[in-house]
């Protein structure tokens, strides 16, 4: 029956549209493919945002640009994917600013602990003139920064003990992102930090290579870190932005109209991602407690002590980055906080 069906269809096609197309000599424009990879999994708002980007781009370009999405580090980690963009062997990735600072050191300013007071101020600064200035610095690295998305305020988890004060960090083996400022900030708190790609983190906690890590509640819950971690504290120590990156060689090969479409799609999908991410970060602490984690709240006094211990590290990096650049960021935060 199937075979008969098949030949019927073939028969219809032969005298149908295929032939007509060829006869018209229509030129089909080449389809371009964006391979977009992230480290987080398919449940995370970052992936949902990426699907939104795909939907907008494929619709607005009438399928002339196809987007393939890869989650869970299938294409690599933040650093290796960013390198692949530079080489032109991958088209899109959305790293945290922390590993991106290995390419453009100035990005570390956004990872200064306790810099942004809340998400709304971060939006205003990153989406404004100051944020754009940092994106412009990516061009020299063969990268195009199309938009800021949100990872969010990072919180500590570990398998050893409740962390309420700076003293509780003593000797804890904490995995950090691959960023020197992060490393030094945790050392200043007395911890014993190790940089590691996100893709290796779950196993490292499971095997006890590290005692703990820090990430927003959404990531902690959606990556099931509660299976290998017992304690969580709302340290809220760093607001982590994501940067939506495109390979410059790919971007330069797009028509002007396509460039506008991908730019606008990255911004629009980013607004959607931020909304989902905020909802997720608001609700998942409760889920972590339900899963059996012990929650410790950081008091304002304890947080102030952490700020004081980390301040020399911030001062050091402010000098390295350039005090004018850092001041511009501080001014924009003050302005947005009014």
Distance from C-alpha of 322 to C-alpha of 110, rounded to nearest angstrom:
13
CB of 1 to ligand KDG, least distance (A): 48
Binders of ligand KDG in range 56-85 (CB under 6 A): 78
215 binds ligand KDG (CB under 6 A): yes
Taking CA atoms, 175 is separated from 36, 170, 208, 213, in Å, by: 26, 14, 11, 5
CB of 323 to ligand KDG, least distance (A): 28
Q: Which residues contact 215 (CB under 8 A, 6 or more apart)?
A: 151, 154, 155, 157, 223, 225
The sheet with strand 92-93 has its strands ordered as 65-70, 32-37, 92-93, 239-247, 143-153
The dihedral built from the CA positions of residue 96, 98, 99 and 101, taken in this order, carries a sign that is positive
The residue number whose beta carbon is nearest to ligand KDG equals 39
H/E element holding 243? Answer: strand 239-247
Footprint (CB under 6 A) of ligand KDG, residues 222-241: 240
Among the listed residues 34, 38, 75, 100, the single contact to ligand KDG using CB under 6 A: 38
Minimal distance in Å, beta carbon 242 to ligand KDG? 7
Q: Which residues pair with 34 in a beta bridge?
A: 67
Residues 41-60 that bind ligand KDG (CB under 6 A): 46
151 belongs to the binding site for ligand KDG (CB under 6 A): yes
CB of 50 to ligand KDG, least distance (A): 9
C-alpha gyration radius of the chain: 23
**Residue 198 within binding range of ligand KDG, rule CB under 6 A:** yes
Length of the chain in terms of residues written: 338
Out of 49, 95, 212, 270, the only residue in the binding site for ligand KDG (CB under 6 A) is 95
Stretch that binds ligand KDG, among 61-69, 91-99, 119-127, 136-144 (CB under 6 A): 91-99
Rounded-to-integer distance, Cα 266 and Cα 244, Å? 7
40 binds ligand KDG (CB under 6 A): yes
**Which one of residues 61, 96, 158, 296 is an interface residue with ligand KDG (CB under 6 A)?**
96
Can you give the binding site for ligand KDG, defined by CB under 6 A? Answer: 38-40, 46, 78, 94-96, 151, 177, 198, 215, 240
């Amino acid at each position: 029956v199937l075979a008969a069906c098949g030949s019927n269809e073939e028969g219809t096609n032969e005298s149908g549209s295929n032939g007509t197309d060829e006869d018209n000599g229509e030129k089909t424009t080449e389809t371009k493919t964006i391979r977009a990879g992230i480290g987080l999994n398919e449940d995370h708002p970052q992936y949902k945002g990426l699907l939104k980007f795909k939907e907008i781009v494929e619709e607005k370009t009438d399928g002339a640009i196809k987007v393939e999405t890869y989650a869970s580090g299938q294409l690599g980690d933040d650093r290796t994917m960013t390198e692949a963009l530079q080489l032109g062997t991958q088209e899109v990735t959305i790293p945290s600013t922390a590993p991106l600072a290995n390419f453009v050191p100035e990005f570390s300013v956004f990872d200064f602990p306790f810099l942004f007071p809340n998400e709304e101020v971060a939006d205003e600064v990153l989406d404004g003139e100051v944020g754009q200035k940092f994106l412009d610095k990516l061009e020299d690295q063969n990268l195009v920064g199309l938009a800021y998305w949100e990872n969010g305020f990072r919180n500590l988890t570990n398998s050893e003990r409740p962390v309420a004060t700076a003293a509780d960090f003593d000797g804890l083996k904490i995995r950090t992102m691959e960023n020197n400022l992060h490393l030094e900030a945790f050392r200043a708190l007395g911890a014993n930090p190790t940089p590691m790609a996100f893709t290796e983190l779950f196993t490292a906690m499971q095997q006890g290579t590290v005692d703990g890590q820090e990430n927003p509640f959404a990531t902690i819950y959606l990556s099931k870190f509660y299976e290998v971690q017992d304690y969580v504290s709302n340290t809220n120590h760093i607001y982590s932005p994501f940067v939506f990156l495109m390979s410059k060689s790919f971007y330069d090969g797009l028509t002007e109209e396509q460039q506008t479409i991908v730019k606008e799609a990255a911004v629009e999908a980013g607004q959607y991602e931020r909304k989902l991410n905020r909802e997720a970060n608001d609700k998942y602490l409760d889920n972590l407690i339900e899963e059996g984690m012990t929650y410790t709240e950081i008091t304002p006094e304890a947080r102030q002590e952490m700020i004081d211990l980390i301040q020399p590290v911030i001062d050091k990096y402010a000098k390295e980055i350039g005090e004018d650049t850092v001041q511009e960021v501080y001014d924009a935060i003050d302005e947005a906080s009014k």
